[in-house]
Amino acid sequence: MKVKFDFTLDDLVDVSERASARSRVMRSLQSRGLIVVCLAGAVVAFFTVAGSTERRLFAAAVIAVGGALIYPFSLGRARQSQLRKYFREQFGGDGPYSCEVELTPACLVTLQAGTRAERAWSTVTAIHETADSVDFAFKGSGSLVVRNRAFGSPEERSAFVRIARTYAAKGA
């Protein structure tokens, strides 16, 4: 079974964000960053605010909580901006770009940006159905997101997922 769809830089950023969200390493790095920002802000507040120790501790706590609330949003926006710049550099513009995905008994084949990639079914670690896509996770080669716009109908999407899961189970 073969499907085709167009994607943009925003789609690429979304795929990167999804892959990062599934990664324990990335979640750990983000948590460490949050802790460092909160602690650094608290230390600076403690040593720069004048007054009693209680007042300085209160200021440190307020800054730490404020940092915990702001950090995830500012980090996300900064990361997405950098990813857009990176993908624009790699792909030469904002798109749209074409992606073909073919399910064969031997492998999952993608054709994108002039590159044909074949991934053995034994490398598929998960197939996730989301509201807007079918996501494949692979050992050693990242992920693939097949957008719903690749399918002519919900039935075609269901058949695609069923075939993919059948091939992945046989390749495991």
Residue 159 has pLDDT above 90, yes or no: yes
Give the pLDDT score at 19: 76
CA–CA separation, 56 and 66 (whole Å)? 15
Q: What is the pLDDT of residues 71-98, one digit of tens each?
A: 877 777 888 889 899 988 888 888 798 9
Residue 172 has pLDDT above 60, yes or no: no
Residue 118 has pLDDT above 90, yes or no: yes
CA–CA separation, 28 and 143 (whole Å)? 20
Token representation of residue 11: 């789609």
Q: What is the pLDDT of residues 4-54, one digit of tens each?
A: 999 988 888 888 887 777 767 777 888 888 889 899 999 999 999 999 999
List of domains in the chain? 2-8+94-171 (2.30.29.30), 10-91 (no CATH)
pTM above 0.85, yes or no: no
Give the pLDDT score at 74: 79
Residue spans of beta strands (DSSP E) within the chain: 2-7, 97-103, 107-112, 115-120, 124-129, 133-138, 143-147
Name the average pLDDT for the chain: 88
Which residues contact residue 23 at a Cβ distance below 8 angstroms, ignoring those fewer than 6 apart?
Answer: none
